[in-house]
Amino acid sequence: MGFEAGFAGGAVVFLWMVFSVFAFCSIANAAPYPTRLVVSKDGTGDYSNIQDAINNCKSFPDQRITILVEPGVYEEKIVVNSWNTRISLIGIDADRTVIRWSDAAEGRKNGTFWSYTMLVQANDFRAENLTIENAAGSGPGIGQAVALHVESDRVVIDACRLIADQDTLYAAGENSRQLYRNCYIEGTTDFIFGEGTAVFENCQIHCKTASFITAASTAEGVRFGYVFLDCKLSFAQGVDNVYLGRPWRPFAKTVFVRCDLGNGIHPEGWSRWGYKYAETHYAEFECTGAGADRSERVDWSFELSEDEAKLYTKDHVFNNGLQDPVPLRDWYKD
C-alpha cells in the first residue's frame, strides 16, 4: 500500500470515528421521547385536543416539552397533572387560540375549586399566546367560575388573556411562585385571588363591575403575596368605586408599584372584609391616574418608601417570597 492510499484510508477511518462520536453524542443528548407536539382541530397535528397531548407527554421529563396549539376554539376542561412537569403550552396568538369551558360553583361544596377551565398542578409550566376563558357568566345560581387555577411552582403565563367573571384567576399554592407577564385579566369580584406569591408585570387588569380586584390569602410568614409591577387598570363603562383588594385571609399581602390605576378606584382603596384586626400588608408606590390619589385611603394601607420599593423586583420577590426558596435557575426569565 502506497503512502497516498494509506493516508486516504486512515483519513476515512478518522472521519468515520469523528462522525460516530458526534452521532453518539447527538443520540445521547436527544430525548428518548417527543419534546414537540402539535395540537390542531383540523386533524393535521399530532392531536386534535389539548388534554390528549398533555396526557401523552412523558411524566417528569428532564427536557422541556413544547405543545404548539394551532388557532381555534378548544372547548375543553384541562388538567396539567403534577407529573406533567416542564410543559410549555404555546398558541399562535391569544385572540385566535382560545381554551373555553363553562363551569361554575353552582352551590356545590367547595364548588369554586372544581369550576376551573384549566388547572395547573405541575411545576415549571409555561403558557403563551392563549385565551383561557370560563364562559359560565354571572348571575343567580352561577357564583364563582374560575378560568385559570394554578397551584404549582415556577409558573410563567405570558401574553395570555384570562377571561371570566367572579374568581377569574386562582393564583394558589402556599409554596407557589408565579409570573404573569403582558397578560390581560378581566373579571368582576375577587377575580385575582389565592395564597400564591405572584408577580403581575405589564398586565392590563380590567374591572367589569364595581367590586374587588384582589382577594389574597397569603399565608402567615410568607413575605410576598401579589405584586403588580407597571400594570394598567381599566374599567367597563360606568364602573367606578372599585377596591384594589380585600383579604381572603388575615395575612393578605398585595402591592401596586408604578401602576396606572385609572379613574375607577374607590377613594378608600382597600377593604377589610370583616377582618378587623387582620395583619394585612396593602401598599402602593408611585402609581398614577386619578385612582392613585391616597388622600382618602384607609389608614392601614400605606405608600412604600424608596428603600421599601427596591424590594419589589422579580429577583427579590422570587428569591425571598418563600422561607426556603428553590434555586431560581432563571425559570422566569426570557
In the set 103, 124, 158, 190, the catalytic residue is 190
Any bridge partners for residue 301, and if so which?
A: 282
169 exposure class (CB count in 10 Å sphere: 0-12, 13-18, 19+): buried
Locate cell 387582620: which residue?
A: 278
Q: For residues 273 and 299, what is the distance between their CA atoms, to the nearest angstrom?
A: 15
| Spatial distance between the Cα atoms of 149 and 101, rounded to a whole number of angstroms | 13
Residue 256 has φ and ψ, to the nearest 5°, of -110, 120
Question: Hey, what long-range contacts does 51-59 have (CB within 8 A, 24 or more apart)?
Answer: 51/76, 51/78, 51/79, 54/78, 54/79, 54/80, 54/81, 54/84, 54/87, 57/33, 57/84, 57/87, 58/31, 58/33, 58/34, 59/83, 59/84
H helix or E strand, kind and range, residue 126: strand 126-128
Asked if 103 is an active-site residue, the reply is no
Catalytic residue annotation: 190
